[in-house]
Chains A and B, each alone.
Chain A
Amino acid sequence: QKEVEQDPGPLSVPEGAIVSLNCTYSNSAFQYFMWYRQYSRKGPELLMYTYSSGNKEDGRFTAQVDKSSKYISLFIRDSQPSDSATYLCAMTVDHNDMRFGAGTRLTVKP
């Protein structure tokens, strides 16, 4: 079993849709949870990070962590074509142990 599981997709939605991206993990020691966005042939950029269970909102993005279920989500409201990218979840006990999901490829169609 992988430490971090993420459905690679691809996921295709119409513009304006609400997108839900998810990861599950097995290591209960993970404390920090991050979402990265990666455009094709570029390095990942940090979108959101959370430390505790609950929700964190930033504009159209909401990150949700449920430590009891070992499940994290990223919601994108009013999705735009420019949101088309690969979204990677990542988590860490401390930064030396960061583990990434496989990434979900998202396409938002105009």
Chain B
Amino acid sequence: GAVVSQHPSRVICKSGTSVKIECRSLDFQATTMFWYRQFPKQSLMLMATSNEGSKATYEQGVEKDKFLINHASLTLSTLTVTSAHPEDSSFYICSASPGGPTEAFFGQGTRLTVV
């Protein structure tokens, strides 16, 4: 199947700093990429949808100034958590789609811990 690479897999940062997470589709062009957040024992929650070359669409309740998404190319999207706080600690997962509702491939996820 298609491969989506997410980096880093784990990151620990100090409160107040910013962290960038990358999501790359390695063998296909992703017209759309999605960013999710997952709390323990809870479902994946869609944070935002990004299309290459346009602004991301954020879900209700997600602060766009805090979670900056840049879909710079058809193979790369980045999520930057700005001025991170301990409550931002979570598991963040991206997925990428070359097209079609059933073609969604997930990255490995990034465990963010803010201390």
Contacts and interface: CB of A to CB of B under 8 A. Distances in A.
B19 interface: no
A80 interface: no
B106 A44 contact: yes
Interface in B1-33: 1, 4, 6, 9, 32
Contacts of B91: 41
B24 to A, nearest CB: 13
A75 B100 CA distance: 25
A106 interface: no
For the residues of B in contact with A, the DSSP-based class is strand
A60 interface: no
B43 A103 contact: yes
Interface string A1-37: 0001010100000000000000000000001101010
Given A8-B41, A95-B97, A102-B42, A46 B108 contact: no
Select the residue from A43, A90, A102 with max chain B CB neighbours within 10 A: A43
Interface of A: 4, 6, 8, 31-32, 34, 36, 41-46, 49, 51, 88, 90, 92, 94-96, 98-103
Pairs A-B, 4 closest by C-beta atoms: A43-B106, A95-B101, A100-B43, A100-B44
